[in-house]
Amino acid sequence: MKRCHMAYAASAVAALVGSGIGLGASPAAALHQTLVVHQGESIQKAVNSARPGDTVLVLPGVYKESVTIGTPRVTLRGTGANTVIEPATKTTGAAPGKNTKATKSCAEGGNGICVIGTKTTNVEGVTVADLKVTGFSRAGVFGMATDTMTVRGVQAVKNAVWGIAQERSVHGHIMDNYAQGNGDAGVFLANTITEEAGALDTRRTVIDHNRLEGNRIGVTVRRLRNLSVAENHIAGNCAGVFVVGDENKPKAGDLEVAFNDVTENNKSCPKTDRLPAIQGSGIVLTGVEKTVVDGNRVTDNSGNSPLSGGIVLFKSFVGVTNDKNRVSGNALAGNGPADLVDTETKGIGNTFDHNACRASKPAGLC
C-alpha cells in the first residue's frame, strides 16, 4: 500500500498567507490521501488506515476478502471490472428470497463490501466505485445506517442474495451500476429486515441509470418512502420492479418509478416464503400509497403468475391495499395477461391516465 498526497488548492494556501497566518502556525489539518492497494495486498488494511476524505484506490487484480468501511467520507475505488473482489473461501448461498441477518463482520454475514454505521449514528459520505464484486453468499455491496452513500460503476454479479443493498439509510445514490445474476434483487432497498417497522423516509435516495439483468427481481423497494427509481434498464429478470409495503405505519410509498425501460422480464423463479412463483412482471405495486409510475417503457413482460403483467397493482399478501397511486404516461405493449393489471377490490383513489397500451385487466384502464 502506497500513499499519494494530494496538495491543497493553491487558492487556499494563498488565503492563509495573505491573512498573515504562517503555514507553520496554522492548525494541523490532514491532507486528503490516496492509498494505493496492489494485488496481493489487503484492501481492509488500507481502509483501516484511511481518514475522512481519503481515497483507497485498488489496482487491477483479484482480491479474496470482504471489506468493511466505517469511516465517513472514504472512497473505495477500483479501476473498473479488472478490479475484482470475491470471497476468501467458498460460501454457501442463501435461498433466494430468504433474508439473512447481518452478523458481526462483513465476511461472516456473507457480504463483499460493507458500509456500516451504528445504531445511533449514520456513517456519512462513503463512496464505492468502479470495481466488480462477485460470488458472495449474501450481498455484493451492503450498506446499513448510511447517509449519502454512493455506489457508482460497480459490477455486482452472481451474488447469492442481492447485488447492491441498503438498509436504514438516507440520501443514497445508486447509479451507473451493472447487477446481473444475483439470487434475489439486483438492487434492494429496505427500512430493515430484522424487525417489523413502519416505512422509512429515505430523504430522496435515487436509483438511476443502472443496468439490471438476469436477477430474480431487478429492483426491490421495501417499506420505504421518498425516493426515486428512474432511467434504469431492467431486462431478463423474473420481475422488473417491486414496490412493497405492509400493515405497519407509516405506510410505504410516496415515491416515484419513472422513465425506466422494463422489458422481457420473463425468467421463471420458484416461490419463496414471501412470494409465489414469479414470471413476467414488469412493475408491481403491492400494499403502497401515493406512488407515481410515470413515463416508463414496459414491454413484453408475460407470465402465468398472479403478479404477471406490465404494470400491476396487487393487494399485499398481508391484506394491505394500494391507495392513491397514479399510473400515467407509460408506453406499454406485449405484456401478459395485460399491459395494465389492477387486482384491487378495496383500494381507493388509484388512477390510470394517458397510458399508451392495448389491453388491461379489468378492461377500460388503457
| Residue 321 covered by a domain | yes
Rounded distance, CA 145 to CA 122, Å? 5
Question: Across the strands, what pairs with 190?
Answer: 167, 222
Q: Supply the CATH number for residue 261's domain.
A: 2.160.20.10
DSSP code for 243: E
Q: What is the pLDDT of residues 97-112, one digit of tens each?
A: 444 444 468 999 999 9
- Please count the structural domains in the chain: 1
| Residue 74 covered by a domain | yes
Q: What is the pLDDT of residues 261-319, one digit of tens each?
A: 999 999 999 998 878 899 999 999 999 999 999 999 999 999 999 999 999 999 888 88
Residues sharing a CB contact under 8 Å with residue 318, sequence separation 6 or more, in sequence order: 246, 247, 287
Mean pLDDT of the chain: 90
Domain that holds residue 131: 62-89+106-361
The amino acid at residue 281 is S
Rounded distance, CA 1 to CA 12, Å? 29
| Residue 37 covered by a domain | no
| Residue 23 covered by a domain | no
**Which of the residue ranges 93-97, 198-202, 213-217, 260-264 would you say has the lowest mean pLDDT?**
93-97
| Residue 156 covered by a domain | yes
Q: What is the mean pLDDT of residues 221-246?
A: 97
| Residue 82 covered by a domain | yes
Residues sharing a CB contact under 8 Å with residue 104, sequence separation 6 or more, in sequence order: none
Q: What confidence category does residue 91 fall into, taking pLDDT thresholds of 50, 70 and 90?
A: low
Looking at residue 8, its pLDDT comes to 32
| Residue 42 covered by a domain | no
Q: What proportion of the chain, given as a percentage, has pLDDT over 90? A: 81
Looking at residue 315, its pLDDT comes to 85
**Which of the residue ranges 26-40, 188-202, 211-225, 304-318 would you say has the lowest mean pLDDT?**
26-40
| Residue 48 covered by a domain | no
Q: What is the pLDDT of residues 110-162, one digit of tens each?
A: 999 999 999 999 999 999 999 999 999 999 999 999 999 999 999 999 999 99
Rounded distance, CA 359 to CA 213, Å? 26
Looking at residue 103, its pLDDT comes to 47
Looking at residue 69, its pLDDT comes to 98
